[in-house]
Chain A
Amino acid sequence: MIHFVLLISRQGKVRLTKWYSPYTQKERSKVIRELSGVILTRGPKLCNFVEWRGYKVVYKRYASLYFCMCVDQEDNELEILEIIHHYVEILDRYFGSVCELDLIFNFHKAYYILDEILIAGELQESSKKTVARLIAAQDSLVETAKEQASSISNIIAQATK
């Protein structure tokens, strides 16, 4: 089971955190501080696994971002790397060659996509196409709602002119 997902920038800024096991706010910031200290200092050629507090943290660097997932000792680390890559590919398709700025300004989108890939710390969908389709459908629902809202407010605005 994945206990949490972290996206940390090269500078140690947090870009996304998702917790599937209960951690208090205090613990969360401690975990982030501890792990960014360990992971950001590791050399490029080293393996992508860090043993930490009886868990394993699997991380992978994409450009300026570190994607980290904390899993149980008996979980398959190599598969977690694939899950990270799966997520990155979906982000890439959604944003069109994703970069860190996309994830900063559209952080909520990154969360929505993650929620279509993982629930309760387990993998939900192995098809990138399906995930993209589901996200697109929900985005269009939001768009329609927004249009309706703005047309109503236009009507009100005109009526009260």
Chain B
Amino acid sequence: MNPFSSGTRLRDMIRSIRACKTAAEERAVVRKECAAIRAAINENDQDYRHRNLAKLMFIHMLGYPTHFGQMECLKSIASAGFPEKRIGYLGLMLLLDERQEVLMLVTNSLKQDLNHTNQYIVGLALCALGNICSAEMARDLAPEVERLLQFRDPNIRKKAALCSIRIIKKVPDLAENFINPAAALLKEKHHGVLITGIQLVTDLCKVSTEALEFFRKPKCLDGLVKTLRDVVNSPYAPEYDIAGITDPFLHIRLLKLLRVLGQGDADASDCMNDILAQVATKTESNKNAGNAILYECVETIMSIEDNGGLRVLAINILGRFLSNRDNNIRYVALNMLMKAITVDAQAVQRHRATILECVKDLDASIRKRALELVYLLVNESNVKPLTKELIDYLEISDQEFKGDLTAKICSMVEKFSPDKIWYIDQMLKVLSEAGNFVKDEVWHALIVVISNASDLHGYTVRALYRAVQTSIEQESLVRVAIWCIGEYGDMLVNNGGVLNIEDPITVTESDAVDVVEIAIKHHSSDITTKAMAMVALLKLSSRFPSCSERIRDIIVQNKGSLVLELQQRSIEFNSIVEKHQNIRSTLVERMPVLDEATFSGRRAGSLPATVSTSSGTSLNLPNGVAKPAAAPLVDLLDLSSDDAPVPSSSGNDFLQDLLGVDVSPASVQPGTSQAPKAGTDVLLDLLSIGSPPVQNNSTPSDILSSSQDNKSSVAKLDGLSPTPSGGAASMIDLLDGFVPNSPKPEDNGPAYPSIVAFESSSLRLTFNFSKPPGNPQTTLIQATFTNLSPNVYTDFVFQAAVPKFLQLHLDPASGNTLPASGNGSITQTLRVTNSQHGKKPLVMRTRIAYKLNNRDVLEEGQINNFPRDL
């Protein structure tokens, strides 16, 4: 060692670091060393630069900051000797990466070294350039590298070839310069040059179609095929031999290049068929090297243009792989079968049983691959057995695998379920087994399906009741269960709609309430579950009058809840139970059927529930729709029940509010009025509890925004609300369907065709339009109401609301009694001023209230079919 050496040697530093017993000790040693190195750097000590750099690299590897050594690397590279350059380049590659600006400073040194007379120094420079060059350096130094592809020593040529790969990846424009030199490399005998040359050609073909066309030409392709044949048939060569195969690396690179060339080119694919068949049949598969070649060969066969025979061969190899005991081989087989499934699904189906076994493997990597493959294999015919297998496995699978597994099971059940009862059964199994892993949209979808399967309500609620007895800790199961018990609790108790496959079950009313009570009190229940339980209780209070008192007690317990939502629900529901007995039953009627199309449409949009709700609303009411004045339902909860006439037809609207679920009005429930209703207005009314009632023609945006606020807060909890937009739109479509949109204008009639603005089985409303001269913005609308039923309507009131950009003035109606059977009509004049005349069409929301045999009837609708240019 040098007699002047100061500081410690590298070896000693490593020893002292290794001797440290605590992290603090290690930090102290490193700090001391770093201080010494900094001092040496400041003194510009050249003798120990080499050693200091090595120390820095070691310190760097331990994870300490070493940026102060970056300049030392550059200095070391710039010095003349080989040892300094060697350590300098190593430090450069280790301590810097291509994004550091310092790197630009090294470009000049690199250029000099690439032209150095010592080939090892050229090699160092090529290596560094290949490992860390940036796009700018690639541009600057590409000519040097290109020249070195023809260097006399093969070891430089191979380094230059790999360096070229980096260059063309950074700057694809440079690719064409490398085509010819790369082609020359393919003719070499030196394996290193051949391997790197083939790799370069492969990457060239990926970045440049020009290169792809060039190398597809028979003169190149035939050469490659011949090279592969030679290496496949070559005699034993100790230098390149691995497990009896000569240079498997070369095999694999050739096969990979052939794949790139054969893909999408039938002629090229034809050229290589024979040699691929030979590799696929002749390669020994008892060692990893041979399997690596077979694996590559199978991938090439699958990717190039179709040749039936070869593909059978390839699938057979995969079949053999799949039954191999080595996990690595099974893993790659599963991986490749995923690709093969697009080529030959039938052949892959044959291995279904084996693949299914792999789902249960101990190895997480294999399980994941296999599960993905099984998912691809599912179709209508095999969904039942496959689902059964997976659900059975769900019971015993690892916790960390359950998330993936349930997601896949739910997805395949949803996609391929042959009937609803099977779907519900499978989902209940998954929920009972792994309900905590189920995503929200999955159980939302389940509720939509249950709601739509009216003949299965009783069956489902009983099955859920049973399931929840044993799996109370599975939160999403509990949620679905309490929702169903709230909705269909009566069917649970009186065994409504029993299917013949069911075991009889006796549930008392208080048993049903027990379940909800347990859910609300269970320690693991979160706010959503509790809030849902609260609604379920409210509903049960009306379904089970005998338990009403007990339910009230449970509800009241949350009066002091710290969660505002629960507290509010508790207090409001309590007042419904206590003070509004007579309206309660209508208030908590069963949910109307949820609209599947809307729900799936929204899922497809994959927007979070709250966002889609509000955007849906604004979509539906682009300009906001004012609430009609003097709506009888405003502040319903504050009105004493005596003077609150509740039209039967709007009962479910309240329900929607309470649940925070706005259901599409189009799905009309049997037993209620058949008139299309837009529930939103009523919804807005209810949600504006506590805020002053909004008057007609006041700023509708207030309502809209307040409704959004309210809704989003509720929707967060429930997340269940299909947007009203779909429903409203479909209703309008329905109207458009049978209403002639533009009746023929009469000879001397108005300039605008009259429209049927609203029509139900009992009532028709037609609009005739005229424009006062000189005022294109204003439209006079003559509304004519005709009674289509055989009964007289009394107390007839028509109300209308328009968005903000419109102004509406209603003249008094011609009467308030509408004779039966179209024997007369009421007319009323509306004056609408459109501030966006020519830009936006008219739109209007209507509400018609009247008494039929002394019973209140309310009909609502939205009019979108105004002539365009009003």
* Chain A interface (Cβ < 8 Å from any Cβ of B): 14-20, 22-25, 29, 43, 45-51, 76-79, 81-83, 86, 104-105, 107-108, 111-112, 115, 119-120, 122-130, 134, 137-138, 141-142, 145-146, 150, 153, 157
Query: Which of B285-293, B421-429, B695-703 is near enough to bind chain A?
Result: B285-293
B288 pairs with A78, CB closer than 8 A: yes
A120 pairs with B3, CB closer than 8 A: no
Interface centre among A19, A45, A76, A157 (most CB of B within 10 A): A76
Out of B2, B61, B63, B296, name the residue touching A16 (CB < 8 Å). B61
Interface centre among A18, A47, A130 (most CB of B within 10 A): A47
Give chain A nearest CB distance to B775 CB in angstroms.
64
| 26 CB < 8 A contacts A-B | A15-B61, A24-B99, A46-B364, A47-B330, A47-B366, A48-B327, A49-B328, A49-B331, A79-B249, A79-B296, A82-B292, A105-B11, A105-B14, A107-B61, A112-B86, A115-B127, A119-B126, A119-B163, A119-B166, A120-B130, A123-B253, A125-B195, A130-B155, A134-B155, A145-B81, A145-B83
Rounded to whole angstroms, the CA-CA distance of A107 and B253 in the bound complex is 30
Set of chain B residues within 8 Å of A105, measured between Cβ atoms = 11, 14
Contact residues, B358-376 vs A (CB, 8 A): 362-366, 368
Tell whether A123 pairs with B14 under 8 Å between CB atoms, given A108-B87, A111-B90: no
Contact residues, B281-327 vs A (CB, 8 A): 288-289, 291-292, 295-296, 299, 327
Tell whether A46 pairs with B363 under 8 Å between CB atoms, given A79-B249, A122-B196: yes
As a 0/1 sequence over residues 364 to 408 of chain B, the CB contacts with chain A under 8 angstroms (1 = contact) are 111010000000000000000000000000000000000000000
Rounded to whole angstroms, the CA-CA distance of A108 and B57 in the bound complex is 8
Set of chain A residues within 8 Å of B11, measured between Cβ atoms = 105
Out of A43, A123, A157, name the residue touching B249 (CB < 8 Å). A123
Rounded to whole angstroms, the CA-CA distance of A96 and B4 in the bound complex is 33
Out of A47, A127, A130, name the residue touching B331 (CB < 8 Å). A47
Out of B90, B240, B291, B363, name the residue touching A112 (CB < 8 Å). B90
- With CB as the reference atom, state the residue of chain A lying closest to B128: A115
Set of chain B residues within 8 Å of A25, measured between Cβ atoms = 65
Give chain B nearest CB distance to A54 CB in angstroms.
13
Give chain A nearest CB distance to B60 CB in angstroms.
9
A78 pairs with B166, CB closer than 8 A: no
Q: A18-B93, A108-B87 are in contact. List 9 more A-B contacts (CB 8 A).
A: A14-B62, A17-B94, A22-B97, A78-B291, A107-B61, A119-B130, A125-B191, A127-B192, A130-B239
B368 pairs with A51, CB closer than 8 A: yes
Rounded to whole angstroms, the CA-CA distance of A29 and B299 in the bound complex is 35
Residue B685 is within 8 A (CB to CB) of chain A in the complex: no
- With CB as the reference atom, state the residue of chain A lying closest to B67: A25
Rounded to whole angstroms, the CA-CA distance of A4 and B81 in the bound complex is 29
Give chain A nearest CB distance to B220 CB in angstroms.
20
- With CB as the reference atom, state the residue of chain B lying closest to A19: B97
A119 pairs with B331, CB closer than 8 A: no
A138 pairs with B120, CB closer than 8 A: yes
Rounded to whole angstroms, the CA-CA distance of A81 and B58 in the bound complex is 27
Give chain A nearest CB distance to B58 CB in angstroms.
6
B57 pairs with A107, CB closer than 8 A: yes
Contact residues, B229-267 vs A (CB, 8 A): 239-240, 242, 247-250, 252-253, 256
Residue B636 is within 8 A (CB to CB) of chain A in the complex: no
Set of chain A residues within 8 Å of B335, measured between Cβ atoms = 77
- With CB as the reference atom, state the residue of chain B lying closest to A127: B239
Set of chain B residues within 8 Å of A76, measured between Cβ atoms = 252, 256, 292, 295-296, 299
Out of A107, A141, A145, name the residue touching B58 (CB < 8 Å). A107
A81 pairs with B192, CB closer than 8 A: no
Residue B162 is within 8 A (CB to CB) of chain A in the complex: yes
Out of A49, A125, A146, name the residue touching B83 (CB < 8 Å). A146
Residue B332 is within 8 A (CB to CB) of chain A in the complex: yes
A29 pairs with B63, CB closer than 8 A: yes
A126 pairs with B240, CB closer than 8 A: yes
Rounded to whole angstroms, the CA-CA distance of A26 and B378 in the bound complex is 43
Out of A49, A51, A130, A142, name the residue touching B86 (CB < 8 Å). A142
B365 pairs with A51, CB closer than 8 A: yes
Pairs A-B, 3 closest by C-beta atoms: A78-B292, A47-B327, A119-B162
Residue B710 is within 8 A (CB to CB) of chain A in the complex: no
Contact residues, B593-622 vs A (CB, 8 A): none
A82 pairs with B239, CB closer than 8 A: no
Give the number of residues in B that approach A within 8 Å (Cβ atoms): 72
A48 pairs with B4, CB closer than 8 A: no
- With CB as the reference atom, state the residue of chain B lying closest to A133: B155
Residue B159 is within 8 A (CB to CB) of chain A in the complex: yes
Rounded to whole angstroms, the CA-CA distance of A76 and B83 in the bound complex is 36
Set of chain A residues within 8 Å of B191, measured between Cβ atoms = 125-127
B331 pairs with A20, CB closer than 8 A: no
- With CB as the reference atom, state the residue of chain B lying closest to A75: B256
Contact residues, B98-144 vs A (CB, 8 A): 98-99, 120, 123, 126-127, 130-131
Rounded to whole angstroms, the CA-CA distance of A115 and B124 in the bound complex is 9
Residue B668 is within 8 A (CB to CB) of chain A in the complex: no
Residue B18 is within 8 A (CB to CB) of chain A in the complex: yes
Rounded to whole angstroms, the CA-CA distance of A104 and B15 in the bound complex is 10
Interface centre among A15, A48, A122 (most CB of B within 10 A): A122
Residue B151 is within 8 A (CB to CB) of chain A in the complex: no
Out of B3, B62, B127, name the residue touching A157 (CB < 8 Å). B3
A125 pairs with B192, CB closer than 8 A: yes
Residue B165 is within 8 A (CB to CB) of chain A in the complex: yes
Rounded to whole angstroms, the CA-CA distance of A146 and B2 in the bound complex is 10
Out of A20, A50, A77, A134, name the residue touching B131 (CB < 8 Å). A20
- With CB as the reference atom, state the residue of chain B lying closest to A7: B61
A120 pairs with B163, CB closer than 8 A: yes
As a 0/1 sequence over residues 827 to 849 of chain B, the CB contacts with chain A under 8 angstroms (1 = contact) are 00000000000000000000000
Residue B199 is within 8 A (CB to CB) of chain A in the complex: yes
A142 pairs with B365, CB closer than 8 A: no
Residue B530 is within 8 A (CB to CB) of chain A in the complex: no
Tell whether A82 pairs with B288 under 8 Å between CB atoms, given A76-B295, A108-B57, A141-B120: yes
Set of chain A residues within 8 Å of B196, measured between Cβ atoms = 122-124
Set of chain A residues within 8 Å of B61, measured between Cβ atoms = 14-17, 107
B362 pairs with A79, CB closer than 8 A: no
A43 pairs with B86, CB closer than 8 A: no
A77 pairs with B332, CB closer than 8 A: yes
Tell whether A124 pairs with B328 under 8 Å between CB atoms, given A14-B63, A81-B292: no
Rounded to whole angstroms, the CA-CA distance of A126 and B196 in the bound complex is 10
Give chain B nearest CB distance to A39 CB in angstroms.
11
Give chain B nearest CB distance to A57 CB in angstroms.
10
Out of B195, B288, B295, name the residue touching A123 (CB < 8 Å). B195
Residue B82 is within 8 A (CB to CB) of chain A in the complex: yes
Set of chain A residues within 8 Å of B162, measured between Cβ atoms = 119-120, 122, 124
A126 pairs with B192, CB closer than 8 A: yes
Tell whether A119 pairs with B368 under 8 Å between CB atoms, given A76-B292, A142-B83, A146-B83: no
Rounded to whole angstroms, the CA-CA distance of A128 and B292 in the bound complex is 19
Rounded to whole angstroms, the CA-CA distance of A107 and B17 in the bound complex is 15
Rounded to whole angstroms, the CA-CA distance of A78 and B82 in the bound complex is 37
- With CB as the reference atom, state the residue of chain A lying closest to B119: A137
Set of chain A residues within 8 Å of B863, measured between Cβ atoms = none
Rounded to whole angstroms, the CA-CA distance of A120 and B170 in the bound complex is 11
Residue B158 is within 8 A (CB to CB) of chain A in the complex: yes
Rounded to whole angstroms, the CA-CA distance of A16 and B328 in the bound complex is 25
Residue B637 is within 8 A (CB to CB) of chain A in the complex: no
Rounded to whole angstroms, the CA-CA distance of A104 and B54 in the bound complex is 12
As a 0/1 sequence over residues 1 to 30 of chain B, the CB contacts with chain A under 8 angstroms (1 = contact) are 011100000010010001000000000000
Set of chain A residues within 8 Å of B4, measured between Cβ atoms = 153
Give chain A nearest CB distance to B27 CB in angstroms.
15
Rounded to whole angstroms, the CA-CA distance of A129 and B289 in the bound complex is 19
A22 pairs with B54, CB closer than 8 A: no
A46 pairs with B365, CB closer than 8 A: yes
A82 pairs with B131, CB closer than 8 A: no
Set of chain B residues within 8 Å of A77, measured between Cβ atoms = 328, 331-332, 335
Rounded to whole angstroms, the CA-CA distance of A119 and B158 in the bound complex is 10
As a 0/1 sequence over residues 176 to 205 of chain B, the CB contacts with chain A under 8 angstroms (1 = contact) are 000000000000000110011001000000
